[in-house]
Amino acid sequence: MSLTGGNRNDVTQLLPLLDKVPAVAGVVGRPRHRPDALLADRGYDHDKYRRLLRQRGIRPVIARRGQPHGSGLGVFRYVVERTISWLHGFRRLRIRWERRDDIHEAFLGLATCLITYRHVRRLC
């Protein structure tokens, strides 16, 4: 995870974020360090980043600007949007009040634990 200012464009943090992805456990052999595909919205539609993703062996699934909606990415994006909505249910995370990064990240971790606990409790 990386924390940047609110005025930074998200696409500038795409490659550093991919570099921080830990190894993925799975089949026997060398663990994967990169995802197979990257799903993103129109804000990430740049030929430069599509090319850099392909060079890393990642298939970009990015909605094109100027095209009508209906690409099917909304099915997958719903999970992300729902999770962000759950995080905004915590007042300290809706608007960043903390000046120190470590305190903000601690509240983010605590909120994640509470969301997971509530989800697991509902399943049992």
Same domain, 58 and 84: no
Helix (H, G, I), strand (E, B) or coil at 39: strand
Same domain, 86 and 57: no
pLDDT for 116 equals 92
The residue range of the domain holding 96 is: 72-124
Q: List the pLDDT tens digit at each of the 124 positions of the chain.
A: 666 776 777 778 888 888 887 776 667 777 777 778 888 878 788 888 899 999 988 898 887 877 776 666 666 667 777 888 888 888 888 887 778 888 888 999 999 999 999 989 988 7
Q: Which CB contacts under 8 angstroms, 24+ apart, belong to 79-85? A: 83/115
Same domain, 50 and 21: yes
98 burial via Cβ count (<10 Å: 0-12, 13-18, 19+): middle
Among 34, 54, 69, where does a domain finish? 69
Same domain, 77 and 59: no
Same domain, 22 and 81: no
pLDDT for 29 equals 73
Q: 105, 87 in Cβ contact below 8 A?
A: no
Same domain, 106 and 46: no
Same domain, 12 and 42: yes
Could you give the number of structural domains in the chain?
Answer: 2
